[in-house]
Amino acid sequence: NSDILAKLGRRLRLGMVGGGFDSVIGETHRIAFQADGFYDLVAGAFSIDREVARRTAAALLVGGDRLYDDYREMARREAARADGIDVVVIATPPQIHQEVAVAFLSAGIDVICEKPMTRTVAQAEELAAIVAASGRLFVLTHCYSGFPMVRHARDLVRSGALGRLRMIEAEFAGGAPGVAVEPADPAERHWRFRAASMGPEAILGEVGSHAHHLMGYVSGLRPNRICARMQTFAAGREVYDNAYLAFDYPDGAVGRLWASYVAVGTQHGLSLRIYGETAALEWREEDAEYLRLRPLHGPETVLRSGQDGTSDLVARSARFRPGHPEGYPLAFANLYAEAASALVAMRTGGDPSAFTAHLPTVFDGLEGMRMIAGAAASNREDARWQPL
């Protein structure tokens, strides 16, 4: 990174919308974007709650004139400053991602945005067009694609190590008490358990979209049909907390995705298995350093992050010597490092495409929204297949 920053002669200036001390994910972003020293956090509209926003800014040493009550004002004023932010991170609830992204893109500021990308497919289509017209970088933080062994899995599929793909199976099925049990007092419900915020199918944006992105990222295949069944198990809950999705792919491959908040006893529960004609592979986030390759003939091979024989990208995606587990925050940091490299290239006459190949894009976000809309329609029609 020292070479990359030397081209720019400074760190990238970053602002945050959301991600205050009242949020679930804000601190993970800060750990991730600080991991490689590419960014300085200099501005923010951190919270809907002014007092929380003030406390967050004070603790993060964000100066008073760079703390904003409103993200629109932040976009306007930052764009007008000579030392304004280069890039904004959007870590608010998803209902407002689109309007925040548009405010910053229109002000000429690059965007790193949490998933699910928008509230509706129409908003996602509109945003894709705005990103294309803006020429700005738009990165969607499907952070699990940053794991070295996920990237190696993708390389293996592309190299033909599995033969022709047949079945793609992804699970994001957890059941920790915080998601498996509905709070006794409905006023304590987080927005992700309120039907009014992201619809009754919110689970598909919250966890399903990550699994869906991994299926596409690793397999390289895009489904053309979807069917879905969804259930609500937790007492008093108004959104679905379990979903079974099935996919058909144009070349005959098939897929399944299980998203759940009530897989009790499982903490996080993200995994991917891909079966081809000649071999299968399995990756589990709770054991993320390992990738298991199981050929039709011959013994299982357990591949480990940091071993020789991987691509430069996979080697670069791990920071420490083999044997040191890295995990979630540094997988997330890989997206920030690649975004930084692309942002510097955009500002110094370089070619950002060398760094954007693995970054989830606005089109990945659009596919995610189409998956959610297709699943919702199928579930309403008793699991009738829907085109994608």
Binding site for ligand NAD (CB under 6 A): 17-20, 22-26, 45, 47-49, 71, 91-94, 96, 114-115, 141, 143, 191, 206
Residue 267 beta carbon to ligand NAD: minimum distance, rounded to whole angstroms: 14
**Strands 12-18, 39-45: parallel, antiparallel or unpaired by DSSP?**
parallel
Tell me whether residue 84 or residue 360 sits nearer to ligand NAD (CB atom). Answer: 360
Tell me whether residue 36 or residue 206 sits nearer to ligand NAD (CB atom). Answer: 206
In angstroms, the CA 47 to CA 28 distance is: 16
Tell me the Ramachandran region of residue 326: left when phi exceeds 0, alpha when psi lies from -120 to 50, beta otherwise.
Answer: alpha
Residue 207 beta carbon to ligand NAD: minimum distance, rounded to whole angstroms: 9
Buried b (16+ CB within 10 A) or exposed e, 327-353: ebbbbbbbbbbbbbbbbbbbeeeeebe
Tell me whether residue 98 or residue 305 sits nearer to ligand NAD (CB atom). Answer: 98
Asked if 365 contacts 115 with a C-beta cutoff of 8 angstroms, the reply is yes
Secondary structure string (H, E, C) spanning 98-113? HHHHHHHHHCCCEEEE
Residue 211 beta carbon to ligand NAD: minimum distance, rounded to whole angstroms: 12
Residue 191 beta carbon to ligand NAD: minimum distance, rounded to whole angstroms: 6
DSSP per-residue string spanning 339-368:
HHHHHHHHHTT--THHHHTTS--HHHHHHH
Tell me whether residue 25 or residue 161 sits nearer to ligand NAD (CB atom). Answer: 25
Residue 209 beta carbon to ligand NAD: minimum distance, rounded to whole angstroms: 8
Secondary structure string (H, E, C) spanning 163-216? CCEEEEEEEEECCCHHHHCCCCCHHHCCHHHCHHHHCCCHHHHHHHHHHHHHHH
Residue 92 beta carbon to ligand NAD: minimum distance, rounded to whole angstroms: 4
Selection from 43, 24, 17, 14 nearest residue 96 by Cα: 17
How big is the chain by its Cα radius of gyration, in Å?
Answer: 21
Tell me whether residue 261 or residue 275 sits nearer to ligand NAD (CB atom). Answer: 261
Q: Answer positive or negative: Cα dihedral of 98, 338, 84, 34.
A: positive
Q: At what angle do helices 26-34 and 328-347 cross, to 10 degrees?
A: 60
Rounded to 5°, the CA angle 228-229-230 comes to 120
Residue whose tokens read 């964000």: 62
Residue 332 beta carbon to ligand NAD: minimum distance, rounded to whole angstroms: 7
Residue 250 beta carbon to ligand NAD: minimum distance, rounded to whole angstroms: 29
Tell me whether residue 215 or residue 253 sits nearer to ligand NAD (CB atom). Answer: 215
Residue 12 beta carbon to ligand NAD: minimum distance, rounded to whole angstroms: 20
Asked if 218 contacts 176 with a C-beta cutoff of 8 angstroms, the reply is no
Tell me whether residue 151 or residue 345 sits nearer to ligand NAD (CB atom). Answer: 151
In angstroms, the CA 46 to CA 20 distance is: 5
Q: At what angle do helices 148-159 and 209-219 cross, to 10 degrees?
A: 40
Tell me whether residue 19 or residue 306 sits nearer to ligand NAD (CB atom). Answer: 19
Tell me whether residue 53 or residue 253 sits nearer to ligand NAD (CB atom). Answer: 53
In angstroms, the CA 374 to CA 386 distance is: 6
Tell me whether residue 73 or residue 381 sits nearer to ligand NAD (CB atom). Answer: 73
Residue 7 beta carbon to ligand NAD: minimum distance, rounded to whole angstroms: 29
In angstroms, the CA 105 to CA 109 distance is: 5
